[in-house]
Amino acid sequence: MKEISCKLLVIGAGPGGYVCAIRAGQLGVDTVIVEAGKPGGTCLNVGCIPSKALIHAAEEYDKIRHMAEGQSPLGISLQAPPSLDLAATVAWKDGIVGRLNSGVSGLLRKARVKIVQGRAAFRDGKTVEVQTETGMQVIRAEMVVIATGSKPVELPFLPFGGPVISSTEALSLTALPKKLVVVGGGYIGLELGTAFAKLGSEVTIVEAAAQVLPQYDGELVRPVQKRLQQLGVRVLTGAKAKGLASGGDALLVETSDGKEHTLQADKILVTVGRRPNTDMVGLEGLDLDRSGPFLRIDDQCRTSMRGVFAIGDITGEPMLAHRAMAQGEMVAEIAAGLKRGWDKRCIPAVCFTDPEILSAGLSPDEARRNGLEVRVGQFPFSANGRAMTMLAEDGFVRVVARADNNVVLGLQAVGAGVSELASAFALAIEMGARVEDIAATVHAHPTRGEALQEAALKTLGHALHI
Amino acid sequence: MGEFTIKMPDVGEGVAEAELVEWNVKPGDPVREDMVLAAVMTDKATVEIPSPVAGVVTWVGAEIGDTVAVKAPLLRIEVPGYDDGSSSGEDEGDTPVAAAAAAAPVAAASSSNEPKAAPSASVGAPAPRPSPLPDSQRPLASPAVRLRARESGVDLRQVAGTGPAGRITHEDVELFLTSGAPQPVASHGPARNLRVEEIKLTGMRRRIAERMTLSASRIPHISYVEEVDMTDLEELRTTMNRDRKPDHPKLTILPFLMRAMVKAIARQPEVNATFDDNNGIISRFGAVHIGIATQTPTGLTVPVVRHTEARNIWDCAAELTRLADAARSGTALREELTGSTITITSLGALGGIATTPIINHPEVAIIGVNKMVVRPVWDGTQFVPRKMMNLSSSFDHRIIDGWDAATFVQRIKTLLETPALIFIED
């Protein structure tokens, strides 16, 4: 097979890699992208998109089921309880994923990016070999972008297989597990655990830390804990998974008081984190500096090797698709000769639990740890008209600002649908807004976004609706 | 009757202060109009300060040698019939002038306690910040402004923001670019690095700096470069190294050069000397103590091989190795680092065809060794490959005439090119 030579070679067509390739193509850079699986990576195939599809389906089902039970204050009732065909739900989800897969491929082609299907292995820093269906393809490039992403962490005493599944398998279950135990109370475990609870599974969450979602402060997590209780989800904090029971139908757990428990389970979902895919063939021969398990990069995503970039999960926390996308776009522009550098002020993070948690910039504690004197303003959704009309008054919006000049350092929210406020939060921080800027911006009524304006007013000491 | 205050004039050249070098008057002296009162010196020129009025000097605000800020009060003259309007706050006479000069730093503009209202427009606002933000602090600016700055090679930490809370606007960046701030070189390519790092000269580096300044400023150097054919010496050296006794050190070129210098010095003892220029005394030495300029982890030092005139080539080599190791490991004694009468400097390992060595003050000569390379040499009928090496040597031209310097180097050349001569007793 003839060798391909190109200017930019992107390895991995996840959100970081495909965005990088599309942007490079737009800028006229001769670009090739290599992907072993389907385009879109973890995010599109087994992460963000399918999980949100499942979460949405679960929410709808949960609502209708409550209406059928005659519990709806909206005056809506059903004569018979709804039924769930999980296989159909998963097929619908797969349809969305499929549409997006072909969408990404189309965008790459439109940007004149050559797509090579297969697994890439480094021969040297500028050459890779790809095992394709039609044989070995050698690609030489002036610049290489490693965007190989991450995969779920496996616990040595609880290897994947049989009843033990990762998030990938959880998103493709065609039959609902009657009893589901989730090991790991981070955002992936809680999102999926909540969804399965709404679909009708009996869910137990096992978390080693003292609180679920340990990366968030207690105030933000409290509404989520309350909702988990309402949904009947059992939460064991300070508890360690010890392994499968001998029959393979239960998980052994040690709680904080030192007692062992046996949790019956049809499925055990392990979501204890993700690790970078650095086991790519030939990568070890490249002598790339590491930062812990990740590849070390500078503010232009350059690795320690000239002409080799790395983006996305392989470069470390936060392992979020939108971070990878922003890095990919930047690297493409650098490859095209433009002057770019990573100078983002915040990477918003969303937790699609019920209710949702949104965080951008610094929390009050983080700001104080950085030696900053802050003023904090908080406005509850219980005083927001739109929240009342949607039967979801739990949660609040919080503003963290510098005490000396009111520049916004951080914005957090917890509540139904607050993920859609991420744009406003990130924009305010990137623009260097002061609290007065948010307070002086007319916010549409009636929306949840009004809570942002009110929280800003509260920070200034004159909230209007509380 | 009133007092007229004369302030340090703006002497141009963009300087903010000048050194007072001369007073032509003292308190109590009568002065006429246009009479020269004082002289101040900037980096480039001495400027006389004339009197604009006639009267009697009542106060002078600085002493000779003081640095005085532009517009600081310099002296006061009592002028008959002059209304000084002293209630207008013009009188700053009680402020010591030198102190005023020292107390000139601009106040930092960042993080006031009260958020300031934004000026309505940035026109006329000073574009560069009084002092750049520290590295750890990010300037407040929108993403589009940051991108514009990056593309123009502007470091936003240097730009003063006129927006709320010091936010940098597009206009601030444009103003920074047009108001005398250096223009970007090109829109593509690496960004300009505007960082300036100030490092206080201390310890060893300071000593080196002082010695070099002393040497270069006091000694009029003459440098002389000659090429030497080292082919025969290299052959000899290889043989000697191959056949050396177990207790003999390995020979480099330097011991041969040292021995050649001893021989040449015997004919021209004037180069093996020190010059005390304060007292006008040359000390000419019988002993040949050769300093060897040596790069160490902490900087340049010059260990001294003493009495090379009394050492054979193996001794020279052994002592050289011992001293270089001691200097590099920092264990050399003070006596081993002082007392040289002539010095060798060798940058040969790094390449370069010639150097301009600075004499090791108060000596009068230094011999520099350059890299030996194989070069084609015309032997009269054809080009032949020869091992060639340049010697770059400097002499104190007050003591050594050019002719003598050249003669000395030519003698060393002859000795090195016919190495048997080094070992033949005169």
* Burial (Cβ within 10 Å: 0-12, 13-18, ≥19) of residue B385: exposed
Mean pLDDT, residues A262-284 taken together = 93
Q: Report which DSSP code applies to A175.
A: S
Closest C-alpha to A335, from A301, A287, A296, A295: A301
Query: CA angle A186-A190-A191, nearest 5°?
Result: 115
> Residue A90 — left, alpha, or beta (φ > 0 → left; ψ -120 to 50 → alpha)?
alpha
> Is A437 in a helix, a strand, or coil?
helix
Q: Do A343 and B150 touch (CB under 8 A)?
A: yes
Q: Which of residues 294-353 of B touch A (CB under 8 A)?
A: none
A437 touching chain B per CB within 8 A: yes
Question: How confident is the model at residue A394, as a pLDDT?
Answer: 97
CA pseudo-torsion sign B321, B324, B328, B334: positive
Give the residue from chain B lying closest to A338, CA to CA. B188
Cβ atoms within 10 Å of A60's Cβ, excluding its own: 13
Q: Which of A5-14, A312-321, B338-347 is predicted least confidently?
A: B338-347
Question: Residue B104's pLDDT band (boundaries 50, 70, 90)?
Answer: very low
The model's pTM: 0.62
Closest C-alpha to A186, from A97, A245, A269, A276: A269
> Residue A231 — left, alpha, or beta (φ > 0 → left; ψ -120 to 50 → alpha)?
alpha
Q: What share of chain A has pLDDT > 90, as a percent?
A: 93
Mean pLDDT, residues B82-88 taken together = 53
Task: Give residue-wise pLDDT tens across range A430-465.
Answer: 999 999 999 999 999 999 999 999 999 999 999 999
**Catalytic hit among A56, A445, A462, A465:** A445
Question: How confident is the model at residue A186, as a pLDDT?
Answer: 96
Max mean pLDDT among A28-42, B39-53, B87-101 falls in A28-42
Q: Do A405 and B188 touch (CB under 8 A)?
A: no
Question: How confident is the model at residue B64, as a pLDDT?
Answer: 79
DSSP B252-306: -HHHHHHHHHHHHHHH-GGGSEEEETTTTEEEE-SS--EEE-EEETTEEE--EE-
Question: Residue B91's pLDDT band (boundaries 50, 70, 90)?
Answer: very low
Q: Report which DSSP code applies to B308.
A: G
Task: Give residue-wise pLDDT tens across range A188-207.
Answer: 999 999 999 999 999 999 99
Cβ atoms within 10 Å of B73's Cβ, excluding its own: 23
Question: Residue B50's pLDDT band (boundaries 50, 70, 90)?
Answer: confident
Task: Give residue-wise pLDDT tens across range B332-388.
Answer: 888 888 899 999 998 767 888 899 999 999 999 999 999 999 999 998 899 999 999
Closest C-alpha to B361, from B207, B201, B200, B226: B207
Across all residues in chain A, what is the average pLDDT?
95
- Which stretch of DSSP H or E encloses residue B151? helix B143-152
- Which stretch of DSSP H or E encloses residue A188? helix A187-199
A134 touching chain B per CB within 8 A: no
β pairing state of A234-237 and A202-207: parallel
Q: Report which DSSP code applies to B150.
A: H
Question: Residue B112's pLDDT band (boundaries 50, 70, 90)?
Answer: very low
Task: Give residue-wise pLDDT tens across range A46-71.
Answer: 999 999 999 999 999 999 999 998 88
Closest C-alpha to A51, from A435, A356, A403: A356
Integer Cα distance of A466 and A463 in angstroms = 6
Q: Do A434 and B191 touch (CB under 8 A)?
A: no
The residue type of A95 is G
Question: How confident is the model at residue B15, as a pLDDT?
Answer: 67
Integer Cα distance of A222 and A226 in angstroms = 6
Mean pLDDT, residues B197-206 taken together = 75
Q: Do A343 and B164 touch (CB under 8 A)?
A: no
Q: Is A445 a catalytic residue?
A: yes
Question: How confident is the model at residue B317, as a pLDDT?
Answer: 94
How far, CA to CA in Å, does B315 sit from each of B352, B367, B415, B420? 29, 20, 19, 18
Question: How confident is the model at residue A67, as a pLDDT?
Answer: 92
B141, B142, B165 ranked by CB distance to A405: nearest: B165
Integer Cα distance of B303 and B332 in angstroms = 8
Task: Give residue-wise pLDDT tens across range B113-171.
Answer: 434 443 334 344 446 676 777 777 788 999 989 998 988 888 898 888 888 888 999 88
Compute the nearest-CA separation of A343 from chain B (Å): 8
Question: Residue B83's pLDDT band (boundaries 50, 70, 90)?
Answer: low
Mutate to test the interface with B, among A339, A402, A436 (most CBs of B within 10 A): A339
Closest C-alpha to B61, from B9, B26, B36: B26
Residue B177 has φ and ψ, to the nearest 5°, of -70, -35
Give Cα A353 to chain centroid, integer Å.
11
* Burial (Cβ within 10 Å: 0-12, 13-18, ≥19) of residue A450: buried
Closest C-alpha to B140, from A373, A343, A359: A343
User: Is the pLDDT reported for residue A271 higher than 60?
Assistant: yes
Across all residues in chain B, what is the average pLDDT?
82
Integer Cα distance of A343 and A323 in angstroms = 12
Question: Residue B44's pLDDT band (boundaries 50, 70, 90)?
Answer: low
Structure tokens, B276:
């005390």
Cβ atoms within 10 Å of A21's Cβ, excluding its own: 34
CA pseudo-torsion sign A427, A431, A434, A439: negative
User: Is the pLDDT reported for residue A285 higher than 90?
Assistant: no
Better pLDDT: A212 or B211? A212
Query: CA angle B262-B266-B271, nearest 5°?
Result: 80
A432 touching chain B per CB within 8 A: yes
Give the residue from chain B lying closest to A336, CA to CA. B188
Query: CA angle B185-B189-B194, nearest 5°?
Result: 55
A153 touching chain B per CB within 8 A: no
Question: How confident is the model at residue B340, as a pLDDT?
Answer: 95
Better pLDDT: A422 or B154? A422
Integer Cα distance of A122 and B238 in angstroms = 47
Give the residue from chain A lying closest to B151, CA to CA. A339
Question: Residue A375's pLDDT band (boundaries 50, 70, 90)?
Answer: very high
Question: Residue B102's pLDDT band (boundaries 50, 70, 90)?
Answer: very low
Question: How confident is the model at residue B107, as a pLDDT?
Answer: 37
Compute the nearest-CA separation of A345 from chain B (Å): 9
Q: Which of residues 119-158 of B touch A (CB under 8 A)?
A: 138, 140-143, 146, 150-151, 153
Q: Do B188 and A437 touch (CB under 8 A)?
A: no
Task: Give residue-wise pLDDT tens across range A76-130.
Answer: 999 899 999 999 999 999 999 999 999 999 999 999 999 999 999 999 888 999 9
Integer Cα distance of B223 and A59 in angstroms = 89
Compute the nearest-CA separation of B153 from chain A (Å): 9
Q: Which of residues 186-215 of B touch A (CB under 8 A)?
A: 187-188, 191
Question: Residue B45's pLDDT band (boundaries 50, 70, 90)?
Answer: low
Mean pLDDT, residues A23-44 taken together = 96
Residue B263 has φ and ψ, to the nearest 5°, of -65, -45
User: Chain B contacts of A345, Cβ < 8 Å?
Assistant: 138
Closest C-alpha to B102, from B73, B69, B65, B75: B69
The residue type of A218 is G
B142, B143, B165 ranked by CB distance to A434: nearest: B165
- Which stretch of DSSP H or E encloses residue A170? helix A167-170
Task: Give residue-wise pLDDT tens across range B248-263.
Answer: 899 999 999 999 999 9
Mutate to test the interface with A, among B133, B145, B150, B162 (most CBs of A within 10 A): B150
Give the residue from chain A lying closest to B168, CA to CA. A432
Integer Cα distance of B72 and A341 in angstroms = 46
